[in-house]
Amino acid sequence: MISKSYKYFLALIFFNIFLFPLKSEEKIDIWKNKKLNEQTSEENIESLKENKNKISINENKSFEEKIKIEDGLIDKTQEVKVFGIYDPSEYDFDLNMWSATKAEDVRASIKRLKKIKLSKTSNEIFENILLSFSYPPLGMKEEEFTSLKLNWIIENQRLDLLENFLNQNEEFKGKSKAVQHLVDSNISQAEIKEGCEKIRFIDSKIKDAYLEKFKIYCLIFDNKQSQAQLLLDLLREQKQSDNFFDDKINYLLGISDKTSQKVNDTNLLNFYLSSITTKDFKYTPNNRTKKEIWKYLNSANLIVLDDINDKKKLQELEQVANKGQIEPEIIFNIYKQIPFNLNTLLNAKNIYKTLDKSDSRALIYQKFLLAEEYSSKVEYLFLLEEIFKKDNLQNVYSEFLINSLKEIGTENIPVDYKESVEAKIKNTQEIKFGKVKYNDKILHQSKVIKFYVENENFKKSQKEIDKTFKKISKNRKYFYSAKDLALTNSLIKDGFKIPSFFNYEELSKKYEVPKNLLSLIEKKENAFLALKIVEIIGEDEPYQLDPETIFFITSLLNDMSLYKIRNKVLVSALPNRI
């Protein structure tokens, strides 16, 4: 009993020393990144209460952020916590941005968006809307709203955002899941040192055996055996350890010179410990193997096909690569090892259809590698694309195809393939805006747009507006397009004076704004309206939308005073770029 109490006493001393730095770290404020005083005087609290419709943020000793609305849609007697990354004002929102929107509408919209490959602009807007600090929609609990944000981050593998979320939100339900994902992501990439650095997010409030086990391993990894032993003893006292983990840690600590050679794949940490403590480690994954274990095998170069003739195993690997769990390069390396006689290689185009599916891909791939003329290489690349498509394995091949075509160069592509190749390459290129070419004969391409594109000052922009309208008015044949109207409406909203002869109200009547979207303005559902606009933009960049769509999108954003999103649309959609 005395020994047991002594262990607890040592554990308490260790935890006070070990966790003290975590508690003393400067807390990142929700918006201004400035630390609020840990204790606020009564006079300051009273002055804050006098300001209605404002937020009072008071940190207690554990840095728990408590946000209370003094007036507005939320019951002022109710303490409500909000979680996120971005200041809602960055995109002209506030904490009540979702408070008038039904939970089922938000769920349905996000479900649809998950099926779309959003463009860069769409994704930026969506990310800011979803991850802004705000109260949850009507009928959605705080826990579900937080989970919705975290799930999106995790599903999109945005580890940078996940770390941001953990840095800016002290305590929330699901934190252990978030930290474990961060840790497992580093283990799966065989980046153990980086994974161990994430233990700073594991504080005394997280009661998770998996994370505590990882913390113990990290102490061993950092040659802190005595601290690891102390934590292990504590974990055993709490009955949170198990025989497998005890066996591995005892071996790594040097307490035991033997360890079980059985591979444990129940979770990534157990699998990792198996891989580093098992002599001549070998593991045969299958289609039931966890995704994170596949990734670790790939990163640690532990995927080997012992028998090149094992077609079933090769086809399993192809399926796994198609799901993105291992690198396609592994598949192509295996293809190179499959032996074909000279006759088969010479007559590849006639023979490949008679072969096993994997062998047919391997044969044409080898034929591509052996081809010397660009025309032959391109022909085999497109033939190989057909074979991969036939078995729904496009994901294995798509990146290889684009990279190979880029390496050949568009100038060397045969005429019959040129249009197709240019389209494929264009679709994968990151959109980069070129230099703006101003055209004073067209309103929405004139120097007037410098106010949005180059942040031109107000006074200079007003002079440019007067000058451009005067010039255009002399052209009796000039037709004011939907883009012209989108620009003019925005200028009016921003306080510029438009010449009296320009009748915006009359000219805009021919363009109809969808009534279902107008109703969102009446209901003050500004965040949901922005979400609907993200759906409309979808896979396109704003400049790829038709002029009428650009007009009604900017009109809606203007009516809701969502000027920063509107400016993103205008900067993409209006200028002529070279």
pLDDT tens string 479-515: 999 999 999 999 999 999 999 999 999 999 999 889 9
Mean pLDDT of all residues in 261-276: 93
> Is residue 146, in this structure, part of any structural domain at all?
no
> Is residue 144, in this structure, part of any structural domain at all?
no
Residues 421 and 488 in one domain: no
Residues 356 and 451 in one domain: no
Among 61-65, 176-180, 257-261, the range scoring the smallest mean pLDDT is 61-65
The confidence score (pLDDT) of residue 308 equals: 79
Q: What angle do CA 130, 153, 196 make, to 5 degrees?
A: 140
- Residue 451 pLDDT > 90: yes
351 CB contacts (<8 Å, ≥6 apart)? Answer: 344, 363
DSSP designation for 27:
P
> Is residue 233, in this structure, part of any structural domain at all?
no
> Is residue 142, in this structure, part of any structural domain at all?
no
CA 23/CA 441 separation, integer angstroms: 63
**pLDDT confidence band for 459 (50 / 70 / 90):** very high
Written as six digits, the tokens of 275 are: 């891989």
- Residue 558 pLDDT > 90: yes
- Which of 428, 453, 481 is at the close of a domain? 428
CA 168/CA 111 separation, integer angstroms: 26
- Residue 429 pLDDT > 70: no
The confidence score (pLDDT) of residue 65 equals: 39
Residues 458 and 569 in one domain: yes
CA 302/CA 275 separation, integer angstroms: 9
Domain with 374, as residue range(s), is 311-428
> Is residue 449, in this structure, part of any structural domain at all?
yes
The domain tally of the chain equals 2
The confidence score (pLDDT) of residue 51 equals: 40
The confidence score (pLDDT) of residue 431 equals: 59
Residues 316 and 395 in one domain: yes
Fill in the amino acid letter for 106: V
CA 441/CA 462 separation, integer angstroms: 17
Residues 457 and 568 in one domain: yes
> Is residue 359, in this structure, part of any structural domain at all?
yes
CA 4/CA 8 separation, integer angstroms: 6
Higher pLDDT, 43 or 287: 287
- Which of 366, 394, 428 is at the close of a domain? 428
Return the residue matching tokens 């070998």.
282
> Is residue 98, in this structure, part of any structural domain at all?
no
Residues 410 and 315 in one domain: yes
> Is residue 531, in this structure, part of any structural domain at all?
yes
Residues 474 and 569 in one domain: yes
The confidence score (pLDDT) of residue 108 equals: 95
The confidence score (pLDDT) of residue 441 equals: 93
- Residue 574 pLDDT > 60: yes
86 CB contacts (<8 Å, ≥6 apart)? Answer: 128, 131, 132, 133
**Hey, which bits of 26-98 come out as E strands?**
55-59, 65-69
Residues 473 and 449 in one domain: yes
The confidence score (pLDDT) of residue 562 equals: 96
Residue spans of alpha helices (H) in 371-500: 374-390, 394-408, 415-428, 450-453, 458-473, 482-493
Residues 457 and 372 in one domain: no
> How confident is the model over 285-338, as pLDDT tens digits?
877 888 889 889 888 888 877 777 888 888 888 988 898 888 898 899 889 989
Residues 456 and 388 in one domain: no
Query: How many helices (DSSP H) and strands (DSSP E) are in the chain?
Result: 29, 2
DSSP designation for 71:
S
Mean pLDDT of all residues in 378-397: 93
Residues 330 and 414 in one domain: yes
Q: What angle do CA 364, 369, 370 make, to 5 degrees?
A: 95
Torsion sign, CA atoms 555, 556, 559, 561: negative
> How confident is the model over 138-151, as pLDDT tens digits?
999 999 999 999 99
